[in-house]
């Protein structure tokens, strides 16, 4: 093994270090955005017009099966509050005119974390079943569905 670098190797290493620093800065930017999302997640549910409706329907939703006809009926009863919620929370595909296609990675990370947390509120909650239902509900691309499945595995690690 040699002890010193050539000028070209030294310059190459410097360029790599600059690149690594830039990548770290972009990752830190995304981490900051995710921390902000985590700190402010669903804040609109704590104020009118959402708080009244969610206070009434959250226990009902928790007692039923996600995606069932009963569940869909409860959502219909929540419609005005849900419309307000979706308009104010970009981690929901309903927030965007083109649904999932308009979302960014930060939106998607918050969305899958939200979906996973929601499964824990249902007596028979299952994130894999939720992914199956939501893949149809939002006409999800198979590649995105695979990425979300891969991400869900991280929750079990």
Burial class (CB in 10 A: 0-12, 13-18, 19+), 157: exposed
Does residue 3 lie within any of the structural domains?
no
pLDDT in tens, 85-106: 999 999 999 999 999 999 999 9
Helix, strand, coil percentages in the chain from 3-state DSSP, rounded to 5: 75, 0, 25
Does residue 31 lie within any of the structural domains?
no
The predicted model gives 45-55 an average pLDDT of 97
The predicted model gives 136-153 an average pLDDT of 97
pLDDT in tens, 4-19: 999 999 999 999 999 9
Does residue 19 lie within any of the structural domains?
no
**pLDDT at residue 124 in the model:** 86
Does residue 21 lie within any of the structural domains?
no
**pLDDT at residue 2 in the model:** 76
**pLDDT at residue 19 in the model:** 98
**pLDDT at residue 122 in the model:** 82
Does residue 5 lie within any of the structural domains?
no
Question: Residue 82 belongs to what domain range?
Answer: 42-156
Predicted model pTM: 0.91
Does residue 32 lie within any of the structural domains?
no
Give me the number of domains the chain comprises: 1
Nearest CA to 41 out of 96, 109, 130 is that of 109
Inform me whether the pLDDT recorded for 54 exceeds 80: yes
**pLDDT at residue 115 in the model:** 97
Does residue 86 lie within any of the structural domains?
yes
Does residue 4 lie within any of the structural domains?
no
Q: How large a percentage of the chain has pLDDT more than 90? A: 91
The Cα 79–Cα 64 span in angstroms is: 18
The predicted model gives 25-42 an average pLDDT of 98
**pLDDT at residue 157 in the model:** 86
pLDDT in tens, 117-134: 999 988 788 999 999 999
């Amino acid at each position: 093994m040699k002890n010193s670098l050539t000028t070209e190797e030294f310059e190459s290493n410097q360029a790599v270090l600059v690149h690594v620093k830039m990548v770290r800065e972009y990752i830190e930017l995304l981490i900051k955005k995710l921390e902000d999302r985590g700190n402010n997640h669903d804040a609109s549910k704590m104020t009118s017009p959402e708080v009244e409706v969610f206070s009434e329907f959250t226990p009902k939703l928790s007692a039923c099966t996600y995606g069932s006809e009963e569940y869909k009926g409860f959502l219909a009863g929540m419609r005005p509050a849900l419309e307000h919620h979706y308009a104010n929370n970009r981690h929901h595909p309903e927030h965007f005119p083109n649904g999932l296609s308009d979302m960014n990675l930060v939106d998607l990370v918050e969305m899958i974390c939200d979906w996973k947390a929601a499964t824990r509120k249902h007596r028979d909650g299952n994130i894999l079943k939720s992914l199956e239902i939501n893949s149809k509900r939002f006409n999800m691309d198979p590649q995105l569905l695979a990425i979300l499945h891969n991400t869900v595995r991280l929750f079990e690690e």
